[in-house]
Amino acid sequence: MPSRLTSFAPLVEVTSAVMNGIQDAAFTQRGSGTSNSMANTIDTPSTLIKMREVAFALDGPSLTPPAFGGLIDQSIDWRDRHIFFQIDYDPSLDIRWGEADDAKQPLESNTGSWYTRTGGVVYNISSGNKVGIYVDTTNGYLWIRKATGYIRGLIRCSIQLKERS
């Protein structure tokens, strides 16, 4: 049984308390502590405040910005967000989902997080700088850099934190 406060039947009226609770859970909220120095504007949601989780897999090289071949997402502006990633890399096994070696252990498996600031910096996430994440400074698009091999991953982000946006 799923963890629910209320299970709704079709066409049942939903209370404002439930709807407001869903919004509170969906939007990142500024911590209410008096010592929190973050901008208050994070508590002003708009239609532009979007979180995202993307899955991706790449086989070809994707090199130095802006000539990347590894555009991962262009649906939101990834600048001024905290991102969380799980990225697997292997130089020879085709570990992309649905491919021949997708059940094998990749050479590298990287998990972490990073604040994207205003973009423009390749955040290297693997040994020897084989794999990097990049957010474009002009449009906020999300890119992956890698010279060779195969990669698969998930990246998710917070809303824009309103510190640099």
Strands 52-58 and 123-124, bridge-based pairing: unpaired
Q: Could you give the C-alpha distances from 126 to 53, 103, 110, 123, in angstroms and in order? A: 21, 21, 7, 9
103 pLDDT tier (thresholds 50, 70, 90)? very high
Domains of the chain (ranges, CATH numbers): 53-157 (2.60.320)
114 pLDDT tier (thresholds 50, 70, 90)? very high
Name the residue among 141, 142, 139, 136 with its Cα closest to residue 155.
142
Name the residue among 103, 104, 112, 118 with its Cα closest to residue 165.
118
pTM for this prediction: 0.76
Token reading at 74: 């262009």
